Amino acid sequence: MRFQLLGLLSIADGEHAAVLQPSKPTSLLAALLIHSGAAVSTEYLVRAVWDTEPPATARAALQSCVLRLRRIFAKYGIANDAIEAVPGGYRMRMDRETLDLVRFRELVRSADLAGDAETESHVLREALALWHGPVLANVASHMLHRDEAPRLTEERLRALERLCDIELARGRCREVLSEVWDAARRHPERERFSEQLIEALYRTGRQTEALAEIRAVKERLKEEFGIDPGAPLQRLELTILRGEDLGAPQARAIAAIEAATASLPALPSGEAGAPHSTSPDDLLPVPAVAPVPPSPPPAQAPAAPTVPAVPAVPAAPSAIAPVAPVPCFTGRSTQLAALQSALTADGPAAGPVVISGAPGIGKTALALQAAHLAQEAFPGGCCTLRMTRADGSPVDASEARAQLPPLNGPGRRLLVLDDAVSAEQIRPLLPAPGEGVAVVTSRRGLAGLIATHGGVVHRLDTLDPEESHHLLISTLGAERVAAEPQAARELARMCGHFPLSLRIAAARLLTRPGLGIGDCAGWLAADLPARLSLADEPLMSVPGVFGAALRRLSPELREAFVLLATERGNARAAPPDVSDEVLERLADAGFVEEGPPRPYRIHELLKIYARQLETPPPRLRIGTTAAPG
């Protein structure tokens, strides 16, 4: 058994993880795990659980929370003494095997001892792969979100900055471009990510885009804070305007690495999992224990592919590693069985397996879950390649081939090619007969690839109502869904039974434990699909995913889709100015379903999105669109 803190707080047992529901015992557990190995005072724990309004009998109530936690632990076979009562408070001793935060910090520290940049990069990737979303998302404590979550997030961002600096220093500007692009968009307040993005763009011959990025950063800083960029960005701009050589990447990036390393907080001696910064009033002195030595860096790239909630989330460029299960994966049992059969079938002539369907339908999640279940059949390892960049442009086959790591050992390899754009992009990457098999996700059917290389295609539709209901139960918990069963089914219907929509709605409910499912459904219904997005995760957005997919189409196809999806057209009886060829191309791109001999149809959520494209957005009125809760 192990605890997962870097994302949704959960208890994991092998492949399975139980996400804890927001509650006072969950807040107590989070506070103890954050300060693993240290004795945490009762006063601190009371503030973590009740913030500024503790009950008159707070100490007795805290003891009740501890008892409830121990009962929860008993269900998972966790020892009753996992929470130790010490003078003045409680303590949980965790190690690298039982808490992901301890392992993360050890890996970051062991990266300092790496003998070369490649090993250091691999170790940092392994550390960053432990993060699976915003920290403490299902913890209700305002105090922990205010005081602890920013510290933990800062540790992750420092490690990510350092990794990107190392990759730039190695001259891997093209390979790291998607990562720094994503980091700069998610964290515009950190100028170093913007500098890394601009440098990577300029070094890969994209001078115009680099200057446009500088201009955007300057305008944002001036508008929001009334300040100019820092000196490093100003020097970078001047160099690019002059068209000068930036010099060796090592000189610039290594200086940034050294500065970041020097600023890393030191761990207390003998406390590998202790917090970096803690008030002396909150922690009690504990005896020192022998430090845990850092694990030796692995020979191959060890970072497990980050499990994306939706296809829009970029994966790491490539990695050979055990494939983790997709959190709260639900449904698709028939497709999973067929995929496992196709992937593990004996014989050298096995062709590629294509998973296609509309944007947000859950293609990537299904591919990764199937890879996880079938990975034992591939002793050569499993490798994931993202076939589009953060801006939606396709990755060239030659560039993708350069990112393929060597085989992990003798035997077949499983290759997951995510979000492919065309058959031409995929063909050069397919394993030779007998060497392995490729799983390809794409919004297109890739019929040409199947025609030339054989294989099978699994076309995904939305979840059925029962699968959607079970997805909400697995994310929100059976108790919360049982309290509002009809509201939960209405929420699933409103989300169009799209996995992306359901996960976004569930995330909103998890971060607002006092919000009713019916209230959330009512708020979402007032402005679908615009409100199916998360403010702190730009890539988790239904209109964002739909819009990115629509921009890949030609103007002719975009116009035809809007015509079919709005009241002026109907895919079942297409207007005369929409030809059969256009309908087929829209079906291949995932925007319409079925087709000859059956009628075409368009998912309701896509119809709503198309109607909004036809209607100018209303002017924002302050105070009228606040989210519930």
Q: What are the residue ranges of helices labelled H in 187-321?
A: 191-203, 207-225, 231-242, 249-262
Task: Compare 609 and 574 and report the one with higher pLDDT.
Answer: 609
Is pLDDT above 50 for 290? no
Place of tokens 């803690």: 278
Confidence of residue 251 (pLDDT cuts 50, 70, 90): very low
Task: Compare 11 and 577 and report the one with higher pLDDT.
Answer: 11
* 311-344 pLDDT, tens digit each: 333 333 344 556 778 877 888 888 888 888 888 7
* Nearest-10 crossing angle of helices 542-551, 499-510: 150
Per-residue pLDDT, averaged over 235-247, amounts to 81
Per-residue pLDDT, averaged over 582-598, amounts to 78
- Between 96-105, 172-181, 463-472, the lowest mean confidence (pLDDT) is in 172-181
Per-residue pLDDT, averaged over 22-48, amounts to 92
Q: How far apart are the two ends of the chain, measured CA to CA in Å? A: 34
Question: Are 357 and 460 in contact, with CB atoms under 8 Å apart?
Answer: yes
β-bridge partners, 320: 383
Contacts of residues 612-615 at CB distance under 8 Å and 24 or more positions apart, as own/partner, are 612/529, 612/530, 612/543, 613/562, 614/562, 614/566
Q: What is the rounded distance in angstroms from the CA atom of residue 626 to the CA atom of residue 519?
A: 13
Is pLDDT above 70 for 107? yes
Is pLDDT above 60 for 307? no
**Residue 243 corresponds to which tokens in the numbers above?**
């068209």
* 384-434 pLDDT, tens digit each: 888 988 667 888 888 888 777 766 566 788 899 999 988 889 888 888 777
Question: Are 465 and 489 in contact, with CB atoms under 8 Å apart?
Answer: yes
Q: Which residue, 210, 212, 111, is CA-closest to 166?
A: 111
Strands 456-459 and 353-356: parallel
Handedness of CA 149, 153, 156, 162 (dihedral sign): negative
Residue 355: its H or E element: strand 353-356
How big is the chain, counted in residues? 629
Is pLDDT above 90 for 374? no
Q: What is the rounded distance in angstroms from the CA atom of residue 360 to the CA atom of residue 157?
A: 27
- Report the greatest alpha carbon distance in the chain: 81
**What pLDDT does 262 receive?**
46
Residue 517: its H or E element: helix 517-525
**Residue 566 corresponds to which tokens in the numbers above?**
């709005």
Three state DSSP letters for 229-250: CCHHHHHHHHHHHHCCCCCCHH
Residue type, 118: E
- Whole-number CA gyration radius for the chain: 25
**What pLDDT does 597 receive?**
62
Q: What is the rounded distance in angstroms from the CA atom of residue 547 to the CA atom of residue 572?
A: 23
Q: What is the rounded distance in angstroms from the CA atom of residue 245 to the CA atom of residue 9?
A: 47
Instruction: Say if residue 597 is preceded by a cis peptide, omega within 30 of 0.
Output: yes
Confidence of residue 281 (pLDDT cuts 50, 70, 90): very low
Give the burial class of 89: count Cβ atoms within 10 A of its Cβ; 0-12 exposed, 13-18 middle, 19 or more buried. buried
Mean pLDDT of the chain: 79
Question: Are 177 and 201 in contact, with CB atoms under 8 Å apart?
Answer: yes
Q: What is the rounded distance in angstroms from the CA atom of residue 229 to the CA atom of residue 426?
A: 41
**What pLDDT does 30 receive?**
93
Q: What is the rounded distance in angstroms from the CA atom of residue 396 to the CA atom of residue 387?
A: 8
CB count, 10 Å around CB of 443? 23
Place of tokens 């805290």: 62
Sheet of strand 283-284: strand arrangement: 84-86, 89-91, 39-41, 283-284
Question: Are 381 and 346 in contact, with CB atoms under 8 Å apart?
Answer: no
Question: Are 116 and 169 in contact, with CB atoms under 8 Å apart?
Answer: no
* 191-215 pLDDT, tens digit each: 899 999 999 988 888 888 889 889 9
Q: Which residue, 386, 367, 466, is CA-closest to 429?
A: 386
Q: What is the rounded distance in angstroms from the CA atom of residue 320 to the CA atom of residue 304?
A: 7
* 434-448 pLDDT, tens digit each: 788 899 999 888 888
Q: What is the rounded distance in angstroms from the CA atom of residue 25 to the CA atom of residue 624?
A: 35
Query: What count of Cα atoms within 13 Å lies in the side-chain half-sphere of residue 104?
Result: 27
